[in-house]
Every structure is written in structure tokens, then in C-alpha cells.
Amino acid sequence: MNEYFNVKTVQVTQSLSDFGLKLGSDGKLVRLDGSRIKTNAAFKEWLYKLKAGERLPRGRYFKNKRPGKPLMILDEFHSMFADK
């Protein structure tokens, strides 16, 4: 089938160290220097619930942030050639 469509297959390998991460002893992701990755899910949810142009709450998490949901772009080009 590759000969018919003139398709070239490329294989790519990624590792966590490419992104500056590793698995900690407890199985969670940590940075290579050992510091933990902080998650602020409650703050993000609050930020996303606000509409663009609304005033942000006070606090260091909201400093230099913009209210509203972020623009999400999904790349699904690979599904065009997937076997069904």
C-alpha cells in the first residue's frame, strides 16, 4: 500500500528527559533537578470560568494572567491516514 500512495514512514522517539522531566520514586513526574511540578487546578478552573475582560481576583497566581478559556488547537492530521 505504501508503494501505491508513495508514503514515507518516519519513526520518532521521545523521552521525558527531552522535556526536563523524570519519574520520581512515588511514580509522579518531577523535574530533573528533583523539584516537584506544582498543579493549581482550582486556580485554573476559576480563571477559565471568567469571561474575557472580567476582573481577576487578587493573588500571586492571577498576576499577569488573562481571564477566559485558552485557545486550544488540536492536530489530528494523523487520523486522516489511519486504517478504520
For residue 1, pLDDT over 60 is answered with: no
For residue 4, pLDDT over 60 is answered with: yes
2-38 as b/e: b if 16+ CB within 10 A: eeeeeeeeeeeeeeeeeeeeeeeeeeeebeeeeeeee
User: What is the enclosing helix (H) or strand (E) of 30?
Assistant: strand 29-31
Write down the pLDDT at residue 49.
Answer: 92
Indicate if the alpha-carbon torsion angle 80, 83, 4, 78 is positive or negative.
positive
pLDDT digits (tens, 9 = 90+) for 28-81: 888 888 887 877 888 889 999 999 889 999 988 889 999 988 888 877 777 766
Q: Determine how many CB atoms are found less than 10 A away from the CB of residue 61.
A: 14
